[in-house]
Amino acid sequence: MSHRHICVHGHFYQPPRENPWTGAVDREGSAAPFHDWNARIAEECYGPITLGVRAGSDGRTIAYDETLKRLSYNFSPTLLAWLEKERPALLSRVLAADAATQTAIAQPYFHNILPFESRRDKETLVRWGLAEFRHRYKREAKGLWLPETAVDVETLEVLAGCGVEFTILDPKQGEAVKGLGSDDWVKVDAEHLDPKTPYLWVSPKDPSKSLVIFFYHHRLSTGIVSGETMVSAEHFAAAVHSRLMPNDAAQLVHVASDGEFYGHHHPGAERVLALTLDLLKADGIPAIDPARFLALFPPPHEVRIRENTAWSCDHGLGRWDKDCGCRSSHLPAWNQEWRTGLRDALNKLAHRLDAFYEDDAARFFDDPWKVRDESAAMWLEPGGERASAFLKARAKRPLTAEEKTRALELLMMQRERLAMFTSCGWFFDDISGVEAVLCLTRAARAIDLAKLLGEDPEESFVWRLESCVSNMPCYGNGAKVWRTLVASARVGLPRAAAHAAMLDHLDLPAPEPPLLRWKAGPAFRADKAGLAGRSRTLSIRDVSVRTVDTHQSAEFHALVHRADRLDFACWLSPRRDPLDPVLVGDQFLRLTDDEFRAAMDERFGAARFGLDAVLNDERSEVVKALAGEGALGASRAAYLKRWVECMAAFRRGGEEDEAVLQLLSESAVHAFNAAELPWSSELEDRLHRHMEAVVSEPIDSARVSRALRWLDVLWDAGLLAGTWRLRDAQARWSSALEGRGPSAALDACRAVGARLGLADFSRGIAS
């Protein structure tokens, strides 16, 4: 048995990018050609790390390699939740890797800087993270990764109290060491702490609390971040060799970094990593994970930690609450003084929400904070029956339907209040950055839930944001960021109803996001000719809306008036109020646009919705669909109209495959870039559904033909943002055909492999 090992830990993490009102990730333009950064990084990193294409060390031209099975790793709960919804095949590979090796470790549910959290919040985040790990991996976690490796004694006590056996830190976070059984502590720093062995940590406050700490090799790990370590497999392997002593003592070269550096930040780095592990194994230095190493080689030393430190800040924890100097590479005149104000504003908001929660939830639960700890069960297995059973088991008395909704709203408010402290909100350089806005969006959702419950902390919170001065003059401060970037993300029941009504007015489908359900009833319609041939239209319908997570619901009369191509107005009235569509229609026919809108404002209130009520992703597609003949010309406008009608039927679930593909293949003839056609970005997902059907029935000729037709047309149209999902499906298709002998399906599978550049795919998947 070898006493020398390599451990590569990958911390795979993405913040909760979902809009908290809809449960869907809004389009992030900076991630183009992908819909969002989760999708882009899945293609560039998460996919290849689970099933990559690389030059094999044995001379094969192409080989499949499942690198994740040779790593220690953690995937953040928020990332796993996204994978479950958007990349289930990739999630299956992540879980299968752990089932084969049990090398995954847990992480707190949200990526908060734990030393900044109260002990109660530390415990909730860790317990949620461990519950999520148990739910996903079907076993207990032995280790837990701390966000940013941020640590203090209380954090380690919480881990130990929850049964965590080990964590991983930067050597600069070790303060002193001593041999087990010795009383002589020796001060150490990052240069003198030996990271080749694990260390026992015992709480100086409560000796009953202990766990093991692994320290990674700092310079080798920072070389992964900079790319220096990843120059080549030979260079990486030599760097590992240089850190091993020429004796038989148990030694572990441990490297750790964000997993996204393999393939996303450094394209091709996942191939370098795989080949490095091949070279080291051939030299008698196999890969191992911390749990297995610990089982073989118990810690010979004890360690004390430097409190309030983290791996990505040289100033303690300054990067998450002050202008400490840690930053990205923006203009030198920029500063990050806004960090202090943002943390102060969120802390005060949290304290107010906590006090309200404790008082109000005490009406339903004997121990509201224990119920919060246990509420992860609802996030992990959502559903009305699950929520009802959860509340029934914990409420101190039977709850009415209204009380159940209120209890769910209180717990959801706490979930969002914890999510608003996600660490990346402070990590980068401006409060207007996408990461800080994500945190503010979670705060807005928590505030909206508090308002529903009778508590309104928004005014004082936004006032505090005025102290957060942005480096972007167009935003000024955090309050303006709130009013512009955050407000546009809010989706209450009225906006959801207006969204559904306006799409129905245009005879367009309105797909429901994960957290909202709506239904539009039959519409009363009227229209009249306008100036320059413009058609002005009115529609009136009933719309019902409800939320999936908190069970809120509302019913409205929705009036939609269109005065020009993009000029919409929508008024909502409670359904219980009487409304005669014929009388309103008569007003519409008699009055000018301005007069009609003034009359509706007087009757229903001036808080009408415009096209900006349409949800963000859908709005950009609707605008493209409504391009006028004057801008396009008669021929192109006719083509666009046919395309929109065809896509509308297709999105409603119709079997319009051939019609869509035929129109798509004609786009260039009509001077359209296929990627700019409304809803064309959705077609890639449809291709993947067809490929999954092929994998499930690998010799069904009709399914194979349909999938190949889709692949050919989308490939030629340039609508494939990435190819990893296709490589994954092709690999599983090839595996399903193994041993069946020559067939048309096998020929088709080989043709797909060749198109994807898998020249040697038929040799199978290498272990």
Domain residues of the chain, as ranges?
4-305, 338-489, 493-610, 615-665, 679-767
Other C-beta atoms within 10 Å of 208: how many? 9
What does each C-alpha distance from 477 to 337, 342, 463, 737 come to in angstroms?
11, 11, 10, 59
Helix axes 634-651, 657-665, angle to 10 degrees: 150
Query: How much is the pLDDT for 764?
Result: 39
Q: pLDDT, tens digit, for every residue of 86-95?
A: 999 999 999 9
CA-closest candidate to residue 639, choices 612, 562, 332, 647: 647
Half-sphere exposure for 43 (CA within 13 Å, toward CB): 15
Give the whole-angstrom CA distance, residue 64 versus residue 270.
12
Segments of the chain scoring below 50 in pLDDT: 56-62, 533, 760-767
pLDDT at 549: 87
Closest to 233 in 3D by CA, of 288, 264, 279: 279
Nearest to 363 by CA among 332, 320, 406: 406
Q: What was the pLDDT predicted at 531?
A: 56
The DSSP code for 8 is E
Number of H-type helices and E-type strands within the chain: 30, 16
Alpha helix segments (H runs only) across 362-433? 368-374, 376-380, 384-394, 401-419, 424-427
Beta bridge partners of 529: 535
**Per-residue confidence (pLDDT) for residue 607, from 0 to 100:** 82
679 SS3 class: coil
Pair 8, 293: CB distance under 8 Å:
no
**What does each C-alpha distance from 631 to 73, 529, 669, 672, 696 come to in angstroms?**
53, 20, 17, 13, 46
Task: Work out whether the CA dihedral 205, 207, 208, 211 comes out positive or negative.
Answer: positive
Contact assessment for residue 339 and residue 426, using Cβ atoms and an 8 Å cutoff:
yes
Would you tell me how many other CB atoms lie within 10 Å of the CB of residue 218?
A: 18
The number of beta carbons lying within 10 Å of the beta carbon of residue 402 is 9
Q: What is the pLDDT of residue 60?
A: 42
pLDDT at 435: 94
SS3 356: helix
User: Could you please report the per-residue DSSP string of 155-166?
Assistant: HHHHHHHTT--E
CATH number of 4-305: 3.20.110.20
DSSP output for 180-216: TT----EE--TTTS-TTS-EEEE-SS-TT-EEEEEE-
Q: What is the pTM of this model?
A: 0.94
How much is the pLDDT for 522?
95
- Each residue's pLDDT tens digit, 605-658: 888 999 999 999 999 999 999 987 778 888 999 999 999 999 999 999 887 789
Q: Measure the CA–CA gap between 283 and 299, rounded to whole angstroms.
A: 25
Mutual orientation of helices 233-241 and 269-282 as an angle, nearest 10°? 50
- Decide if 74 contacts 105 (C-beta within 8 A): yes
In angstroms, the CA 53 to CA 763 distance is: 13
pLDDT in the model for residue 305:
98
Give 540-567 as a DSSP string. EEEEEEEETTT--EEEEEEEEEEEETTE
What letter would DSSP give residue 511? P
pLDDT tens, 37-57?
999 999 999 999 999 876 544
